Structure 1
Amino acid sequence: MMGHACCATLGPWSGLELDGTGLRRAVIRLGGQLATLLEGVNLKERDRIELPDSPEQIPTEELSALATQWFSGRTVLYYNTAHGNQIEYYDPSGWLYLWYPRNKRAVPGGWYIEGEDLYARYGPNTYNPVTRRYGGDWQRSSLVSMIRDVVDSAPRDVFELSTGRVPFPLRAHPAYPSIAAVKPEP
């Protein structure tokens, strides 16, 4: 369950490029070439996600359609100061899998987009330590706020969160600069 704030710098392997239309493009680079995110995961030109600099200026019907492309079938790394690092896989079927800092398992839930908002619901036995609320109900998050918290994303279930397992305990802080940088602490 997320609260959202923005990360401006994505680190030496990643960055945001501004194009002439005012859209920022999440790009992972290594030596000027698109880098391999994780073993077997390549970020290709068609897999790039264009994130708007000012998403609040996009008409609602366009924002909703674009957001579905930005999230569906993708693993997304978020960061904000309240929650720290969070990683979610948005299955196109409407299932959602959250890897929350220090959790030993991925938290399953559901998701859908309606208008300018993404709705997520986690089980009633879940707890959000920031809002101090238990799960079970659909929670609305502004797409504009969520987009501002995106650090990086990659196609498919990169960490296989849909299995319910997490590869290691995710640290809350400091922010990971990219999905490729998400590795266990030494």
Structure 2
Amino acid sequence: MRRILCRAGLALGLLIALPAAAEERGPVTNLPLPRYVSLKASEANVRRGPSLTHRIDWVFVRRDMPLRITAEHGHWRRVQDREGAGGWVHYSLLSGVRTVLVEEDRLPLRARPDARAPATALLEAGVIARLGDCRADWCRLTAGGYRGWARKAGLWGVAADEIRD
């Protein structure tokens, strides 16, 4: 997105285009920050800092749970869950396989990305689904043997402006 800066030269028809804000990149992986991943392990210690010497604040115990990476330090990633709770987790416990958490109860999975398309299933709030393609307002999901399209607004683990092919 470009911003247009108007100056006194506007009367002369002059507009100066400023470059879009640079996307923040992780210092270790050079991947975008923040970004979404999933929990690879069935248990993951969440620490106060990026090392084994830091205290464990809690343990994530839900395999495939989507998490948002907000920082990197060596082999450690600072993550947040849906509620914003987080800390530092070793990178080996995380996966690039994308999942989402259903936030809307009885979220319909539709045959096509269209509100009028037939529903193939209804997902309860709290269900974790595998994320496929995403369009502006819809994402393709797989959960419990069912596949379909769901409105992005009912999901956590995918950015509102994210497009996936």
Shorter-chain TM-score bucket reads: under 0.3
Q: Normalising by structure 2, what TM-score? A: 0.27
Q: Normalising by structure 1, what TM-score? A: 0.25
Which structure shows the higher strand fraction? Answer: 2
Instruction: For CA contacts below 8 A with separation 6 or more, give which structure has more relative contact order.
Output: 1
Which structure shows the higher helix fraction? Answer: 1
